[in-house]
A and B are shown apart, each in its own frame.
Chain A
Amino acid sequence: MRKLDWALGAVLALMVVGASACGSSSSSKSTASNLPQKVGAGEGALNLIAWEGYAQPEWVKPFEKSSGCVVHAKYAGSSDEMVTLMRQSGSQYDMVSASGDASLRLIDGGDVAAMNVALVPEWKNFIPQLQSPVHNTVNGVHYGISLQWGPNTLLYNTKSVTPAPTSWAEIYGSKYKGLVSVPNNPIQIADAALYLSKTEPSLGISDPYELTEKQLDAAVELLKKQRPLIKKYWSLASDEIELFKSGDAVIGAAWPYQYSTLIADHVPVQQIIPSEGATGWADTWMLSAHAKHPNCAYKWVNWVSSPKVQAEQAISYGETPVNTKACPIMETISKGSCETYHANAPAAYFDSIKFWKTPVQACGNGQSDCEDYTTWQQKWTEVTG
């Protein structure tokens, strides 16, 4: 009994200390006033948080050689993970390849710093929509440099899935029960909402990221019905690649990265943008507010914005470069790739993709009855749990 009293006393004492120590916290927001005016000498290292496939040796090795900045990349599996890594790691990482659903959260949290686009000459050659898009530019202040963009596709095994699918309905119907794989990511709700916006017009879904309670419930209902069909909710792109290789999954929602990796491994797969359209991403290299290697960071964005690296990454990952000068170089690397990856597509193609953005309470129509991202995360746990 006395031992117990001791332990209790110690615990209580610690609680008091802990509570008083944690009572105050400070937060700092970065300002746009002190932008760097030139890129200085490199600091010798660059730590990145990136999507899998965004730091391939093909363009990282030459960069290290020419700049002297040794690149350390940590792959993140979802936008949520990127945001959390940036928030919890202090000054460990210099840059993050944030998608549109993460970038505003990072800006709001003061986790990223403003960048000077004048130090990135290639920026002038970007497609106009991604020079100052709303997901990385706030009040005219640039919080990062756009990188690449593309759709989330429907990936399927051409041997097992016949006839070839044309609609997202294939992953919501029971035909491929137990052979479906979709991302383990709350933003996946938007895919269901996009599908419902076409198949159930009575719900009145106009933007898959701006859902009222009723619309969100309908999407969640659809996803709950989908759950028995799922083999695995994949967390890393390599998970889905392995599922398709082993035959555990034959159809699913994917990124073009999985497609190009599987094709390189001679797995018979094909990817399409189904008739209902697709969600997509537009990525930005953002600079950490606590970056220890800012000069290397500027060297890096200049490097990946150059037409050559833009072309290499676009073909390697299977996405669309932001730099309009990349198209001819893509043609020299692989004939027809410029058109395949839509590098010369008209603006209508860009507008057809519903790009990831963070769901917030304020709907686009001036109302504030939409469900925010915290609710999306809870609903997603309900679906997958």
Chain B
Amino acid sequence: MTSSSIAAGAGAPRTARVRVSAALFRRPWLRAVLLLSAPGAWFVLIYLAALVLLFLSALWKVDPLSGKLIHSWTLQNFEQLVKEPVYRTIALRTIGLAAATTVTDAALAVPFAFFAVRVAPKRLSSALFVAVLIPLWSSYLVRVFAWRLILSDKGILNWFLSQLGIGAAHIGYTNWAMWIVFSYIWLPFMILPVWSAVERVPDSMIEASADLGARGFRTFRSVIFPLILPGIVAGSIFTFSLTLGDFITPTLVGGAGSTMIGNIVYNNVGVANNVPFAAAFAAVPLAVMGIYLLLAKRLGAFEAL
């Protein structure tokens, strides 16, 4: 009784609303279209269109004196990429550094996550989780500049080493500095997926392994590692791709011979005004990431995200 009187009292707008929701209820496809149109338009117009424009402009060239784009199709940019050995060096350096960063972060993240999830008491575990996240609150630039101060010739690192009686380490403005900074900056992105992967390893499996006579290392190798591998691969997607595209860290802490793909792209867009060549070179990390993601999918990384 009461419910029908409320419905009558609400009047016309209420019935219109009921009709709309009924129409939506009967046509699930209409619901899907309404829900997905905004993100879909965003994806197609902003994301895919940008990628398409990138590839299109890689096939153009620039008039050297006036700086205007010449809209005629040419493979000249890709030819130059292949022909000049310097671009191969830069691409290999970038990929190598991305791989080194990924391996370092994985080596740091696995024991850390394992300790935090399985060994540490609840409160310490929460504190560690917060500690991992806190650096992400501060600006990327601030953290890179901090490392520049730490690693410079008269920086904290060399002061510390001289206190210990070891000579100064000259790693400021080198590729070693870049490796350290990248590993530091992207570490949280490796820890988080590994953390959730370790959390999902059932206690019963570790107990079963122990019951069957396996010691710690054997259990880690044969039980835990295979179970958390998808988490490591998921984290490596972040560390690898973020390093692959970076140009700020090489600019700030890199030295002579620290040029990465991102720097060449940045210089060609922001300094030399050669967008087509930048686009051609930007296709390299895209291809590398494509291959990497295919491999990661094989290893089941997407289920661990």
> Which positions 9-55 of chain B face chain A at CB distance < 8 Å?
44, 48-49, 51-53, 55
Contact status of A381 and B86, CB under 8 A, knowing A19-B56, A230-B256, A247-B153: yes
Q: Within the complex, which residue of B52, B71, B152, B251 is in contact with A15, where a contact is CB–CB below 8 Å?
A: B52
Contact status of A384 and B256, CB under 8 A, knowing A84-B270, A231-B173: yes
The 8 nearest A-B residue pairs measured at CB: A230-B256, A84-B273, A246-B152, A385-B86, A374-B64, A247-B153, A109-B66, A80-B271
Q: Within the complex, which residue of B52, B172, B251 is in contact with A235, where a contact is CB–CB below 8 Å?
A: B251
Task: Find the residue from B87, B267, B270 having the highest chain A CB count within 10 A.
Answer: B267
Residues of B within 8 A of A15 (CB): 52, 55-56
Interface size on A, residues (CB 8 A): 44
Contact status of A14 and B52, CB under 8 A, knowing A80-B273, A83-B67, A385-B87: yes
Q: Are A108 and B65 in contact (CB under 8 A)?
A: yes
> Which positions 220-254 of chain B face chain A at CB distance < 8 Å?
251, 254
Is A81's CB within 8 Å of the partner chain B? yes
Q: Are A385 and B89 in contact (CB under 8 A)?
A: yes
A18 to B271, CA, bound (A): 25
Name which residue of chain B comes closest to A106, CB basis: B67
Chain B, residues 51-91, CB within 8 Å of chain A (1/0): the string is 11101100000001111110100000000100010110110
> Which positions 190-217 of chain A face chain B at CB distance < 8 Å?
none
Chain B, residues 251-262, CB within 8 Å of chain A (1/0): the string is 100111101000
Q: Are B264 and A109 in contact (CB under 8 A)?
A: no
Is B154's CB within 8 Å of the partner chain A? yes
A110 to B68, CA, bound (A): 10
**Minimum distance in angstroms from A266 CB to a CB of chain B:** 15
Is A377's CB within 8 Å of the partner chain B? yes
Q: Within the complex, which residue of A88, A228, A381 is in contact with B273, where a contact is CB–CB below 8 Å?
A: A88
Chain A interface (Cβ within 8 Å of chain B)?
7, 10-11, 14-15, 18-19, 22-23, 25, 27, 78, 80-81, 83-84, 87-88, 105, 108-110, 178, 227-228, 230-233, 235, 243, 246-248, 360, 372-374, 377-378, 381-382, 384-385
Contact status of A25 and B71, CB under 8 A, knowing A246-B154, A372-B64: yes
A169 to B226, CA, bound (A): 59
Contact status of A227 and B86, CB under 8 A, knowing A10-B48, A11-B52: no
- Tally of A-B residue pairs with Cβ under 8 A? 104
Q: Are A27 and B89 in contact (CB under 8 A)?
A: no
**Minimum distance in angstroms from A99 CB to a CB of chain B:** 14
Residues of A within 8 A of B48 (CB): 7, 10-11, 14
Task: Find the residue from B52, B56, B84, B256 having the highest chain A CB count within 10 A.
Answer: B256
Is B155's CB within 8 Å of the partner chain A? yes
Q: Are A18 and B52 in contact (CB under 8 A)?
A: yes
Q: Are A81 and B270 in contact (CB under 8 A)?
A: yes
Residues of A within 8 A of B122 (CB): none
A10 to B52, CA, bound (A): 10
Q: Are A105 and B67 in contact (CB under 8 A)?
A: yes
A108 to B66, CA, bound (A): 6
A382 to B87, CA, bound (A): 8
Q: Are B155 and A246 in contact (CB under 8 A)?
A: yes
Interface size on B, residues (CB 8 A): 41
Q: Within the complex, which residue of A23, A87, A233, A246 is in contact with B256, where a contact is CB–CB below 8 Å?
A: A233
Residues of B within 8 A of A378 (CB): 80, 84
Q: Are B251 and A382 in contact (CB under 8 A)?
A: no
**Minimum distance in angstroms from B70 CB to a CB of chain A:** 10
**Minimum distance in angstroms from A344 CB to a CB of chain B:** 37
A172 to B44, CA, bound (A): 53
Q: Are B56 and A27 in contact (CB under 8 A)?
A: no
Is B170's CB within 8 Å of the partner chain A? yes
Is B284's CB within 8 Å of the partner chain A? no
Contact status of A105 and B65, CB under 8 A, knowing A15-B52, A18-B52: yes
Residues of A within 8 A of B270 (CB): 81, 84
Is B120's CB within 8 Å of the partner chain A? no
A372 to B101, CA, bound (A): 39
Residues of A within 8 A of B89 (CB): 385
Contact status of A232 and B256, CB under 8 A, knowing A246-B155, A248-B152: yes
Q: A18-B53, A108-B65 are in contact. List 8 more A-B contacts (CB 8 A).
A: A84-B270, A109-B65, A231-B256, A232-B173, A246-B155, A360-B65, A374-B64, A385-B87
Contact status of A109 and B71, CB under 8 A, knowing A11-B52, A80-B273, A231-B255: no
A87 to B89, CA, bound (A): 31
Q: Are A10 and B259 in contact (CB under 8 A)?
A: no
Is B272's CB within 8 Å of the partner chain A? yes
Q: Are B44 and A10 in contact (CB under 8 A)?
A: yes
Residues of A within 8 A of B154 (CB): 246-247
A105 to B62, CA, bound (A): 14
**Minimum distance in angstroms from A210 CB to a CB of chain B:** 16
**Minimum distance in angstroms from A356 CB to a CB of chain B:** 16
Residues of A within 8 A of B87 (CB): 385
A377 to B62, CA, bound (A): 14
Q: Are A25 and B256 in contact (CB under 8 A)?
A: no
Q: Are A18 and B56 in contact (CB under 8 A)?
A: yes
List 30 contacting pairs A-B, 8 Å CB cutoff, sorted by A: A7-B48, A10-B44, A11-B48, A11-B52, A14-B48, A14-B52, A18-B53, A18-B56, A19-B56, A25-B69, A80-B271, A81-B271, A83-B273, A84-B67, A84-B270, A88-B273, A231-B173, A231-B255, A232-B254, A246-B155, A246-B172, A247-B153, A360-B65, A378-B80, A381-B84, A381-B267, A382-B86, A385-B90, A385-B257, A385-B259
